[in-house]
């Protein structure tokens, strides 16, 4: 990890502001998600890029039962769907 020489204080609600230069460099727009990772004594922030839980695609995504799945995987899995027999 490289330091960028910018220090921000945490406010009374636990928030920090990401500097404009950092947001521009990482293409983080208002309302974008940011993933938070913790490793020992480090906090790592990463721009959130949703992807299909099956194949990892980032194209044509849908939410299905709180999971993200792409259109291709929806079509592929529907080929193998069976009706339960009694």
Residue 21: per-residue pLDDT? 87
Residue 16, domain CATH = 2.10.260.10
55 and 43, same structural domain?
A: no
43 and 55, same structural domain?
A: no
Residue 84: per-residue pLDDT? 66
Residue 1: per-residue pLDDT? 66
Burial (CB count within 10 angstroms: exposed 0-12, middle 13-18, buried 19+), residue 73:
buried
Residue 62 maps to a domain = yes
61 and 40, same structural domain?
A: no
Q: Tell me which residue range forms the domain holding 19.
A: 9-48
Residue 86: per-residue pLDDT? 52
Low-confidence ranges of the chain (pLDDT < 50): none
Rounded Cα–Cα distance for residues 67 and 55 (Å): 13
Beta bridge partners of 39: 42
Total domains in the fold of the chain = 2
pTM exceeds 0.75 for this model: no
Residue 3 maps to a domain = no
Closest C-alpha to 53, from 38, 74, 40, 67: 67
Helix (H) or strand (E) holding 25: helix 20-25
Q: How long a stretch of residues is the chain?
A: 86
Residue 2: per-residue pLDDT? 72
4-17 burial: b if 16+ Cβ within 10 Å, else e: eeeeeeeeeeeeee
């Amino acid at each position: 990890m490289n330091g960028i020489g910018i220090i921000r204080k945490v406010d009374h609600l636990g928030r920090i502001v990401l500097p404009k230069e950092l947001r521009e460099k990482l293409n983080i727009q208002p309302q974008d998600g940011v993933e938070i990772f913790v490793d020992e004594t480090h906090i790592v922030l990463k721009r959130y890029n949703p992807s299909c839980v099956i194949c990892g695609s980032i194209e044509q995504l849908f939410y299905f039962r709180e999971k993200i799945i792409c259109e291709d995987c929806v079509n592929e899995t529907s080929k193998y769907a069976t009706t339960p027999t009694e």
